[in-house]
Amino acid sequence: MEEQSHYVKKVQLPSGKTIEVVYFKDADTLPEGVSSFGPAVEPDQDLHVCPDCASELVYPTSWEEAGNNSWRVELRCPECETYREGVYGQETVDSFDERLDLGSDALSADLRRLTRANMAAEIDSFIAALQSDAILPEDF
C-alpha cells in the first residue's frame, strides 16, 4: 500500500466563507526535494495594475485555489481588454483582495451619494409640484 501525504487547510473564499480543504498526494509522486503542493507561483506584483496599459482597474474574472498558499487567478483589464492568467502567492492575492475591497467601498459610497442626490432632486420636484398645485387628488 502506497503512503499518502495530506494536509488540511482552511481557505477563505472571495465570498468570505471559510472552508476546510483536505489535500491528498501520493508521497512517491512528489519530485525529489519538493515538499509543497501546487504549481510554480508568479513573482509578487500588483494584480490590479494592467501590464499593457498601466490601468489600475484590473479585476478578477475567476479565481481558484491552486495549491498550498497559491491561487490561480484570471484577470481582465476593462480599458485595453487584456486578459491574463497566473498562479499567485497568498500575500499577492490578499493584497489584491484588499485593493478590490477598497474599490468596492468607493463604488458603494458613490452609489449612496448618487442615490441621495437623485432622491433630493425628486423631493425638490415634488415640493415644487405641490406648491404650484400641479398635483391633484386624481393623481393618486
Query: What is the full DSSP assignment across 11-61?
Result: EE-TTS-EEEEEEEEEGGGSPTT--S-SPPPPPP--TTS-TTT--S--EEE
> How many distinct structural domains can be found in the chain?
1
The radius of gyration computed from the CA coordinates of the chain, to the nearest angstrom, equals 25
Residue 76 resides in a domain: yes
How far, in Å, CA of 35 to CA of 38, rounded? 10
Query: Is residue 7, in this structure, part of any structural domain at all?
Result: no
Query: Rounded CA gap, 78 and 91, in Å?
Result: 24
Residue 11 forms part of a structural domain: no
Per-residue pLDDT of the chain (140 residues; tens, 9 = 90+): 455 566 666 777 777 787 877 766 654 554 443 445 557 788 889 999 999 999 999 999 999 988 778 899 999 999 999 999 999 999 999 999 999 999 999 999 999 999 999 999 999 999 999 999 898 888 88
Give the phi and the psi of residue 135 in degrees, each rounded to 5: -110, 125
Query: What is d(CA 101, CA 60) in angstroms, rounded to the nearest whole number?
Result: 12
**Domain housing 108:** 39-132
Asked whether residue 102 is assigned to any structural domain, the reply reads: yes
Asked if residue 27 belongs to a domain, the reply is no
